[in-house]
């Protein structure tokens, strides 16, 4: 069995020189030893642009009976850019359905994942930054009887429990001169360092085991 990942930058794999930037898909193998991971997540892609670029076709060519296809988008579907944006209640769900049916057509098992949370705090509270997209994923999973890994819910609870200060270590907060690729430093509450990638990879692996897919 191979686990294929279709998603955006939060799941993508990165070259060593981009350290400490790490996507959760890059860290997943450590929590599922012996399972082959084919990470097709790509930075900057929404369901719309991923499909338009033919990236699902590349996955489709490799699919075998019994493989898992993890499907996780949202961050770029939220974008106002017309070539990325989808509406959570219509085009987003329609596009996700294409991923689901493509996997099933090849005897693979689709798994819908809600997105990882963004780290945005206000007055000591972690904010919900994804609006109607996580609920749309949950609805589609129920409507199409697709296994659901609610990474957003579990991840939100984990980040919230860590608190505003400690949760910085999960995301791309880099000091000036700390890493060669980021000479001016970085403040990024969307993308993860290794610590954050491992947290969300562990949550994903736990969900897959609870769903008895692994």
**151 is written with which tokens?**
């990474």
Are 75 and 12 spatial neighbours (Cβ–Cβ below 8 Å)? no
> CA-CA distance, 148 to 211, in Å (whole number)?
8
> CA-CA distance, 30 to 202, in Å (whole number)?
9
Closest Cα to residue 204, out of 47, 37, 62?
37
Q: What is the CATH number of the domain that holds 52?
A: 3.40.50.1110
> CA-CA distance, 88 to 186, in Å (whole number)?
30
Mean pLDDT by 10 residues, the chain (214 residues): 98 97 98 97 98 98 97 97 97 98 98 98 96 98 98 98 97 95 96 98 98 97
Q: pLDDT value at position 165?
A: 97
Q: Which residue reads 């049916």 in tokens?
A: 101
- When divided into structural domains, the chain yields a total of 1
Enclosing domain of residue 147: 2-210
> CA-CA distance, 150 to 203, in Å (whole number)?
9
Q: pLDDT value at position 62?
A: 97
Q: Which residue reads 């609006």 in tokens?
A: 131
């Amino acid at each position: 069995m191979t686990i294929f990942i279709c998603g955006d930058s939060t799941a993508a794999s990165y070259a060593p020189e981009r350290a400490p930037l790490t996507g959760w898909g890059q860290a997943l193998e450590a929590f599922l030893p012996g399972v082959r991971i084919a990470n097709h997540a790509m930075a900057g892609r929404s369901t719309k642009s991923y499909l338009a670029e033919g990236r699902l076709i590349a996955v489709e060519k490799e699919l075998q009976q019994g493989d898992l296809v993890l499907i996780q988008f949202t961050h770029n579907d939220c974008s106002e850019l017309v070539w990325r944006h989808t509406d959570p209640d219509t085009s987003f769900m329609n596009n996700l359905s294409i991923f689901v049916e493509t996997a099933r057509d090849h005897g693979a098992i689709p798994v819908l994942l809600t997105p990882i949370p963004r780290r945005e705090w206000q007055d000591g509270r972690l904010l919900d930054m994804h609006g109607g997209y996580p609920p749309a994923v949950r609805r589609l999973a129920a409507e199409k009887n697709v296994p659901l890994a609610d990474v957003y819910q579990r991840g939100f609870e984990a980040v919230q429990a860590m608190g505003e200060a400690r949760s910085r270590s999960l995301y791309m907060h880099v000091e000036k001169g700390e890493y060669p690729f980021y000479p001016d430093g970085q403040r990024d509450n969307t993308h993860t360092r290794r610590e954050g990638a491992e947290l969300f990879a562990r949550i994903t692996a736990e969900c897959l085991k609870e769903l008895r897919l692994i």
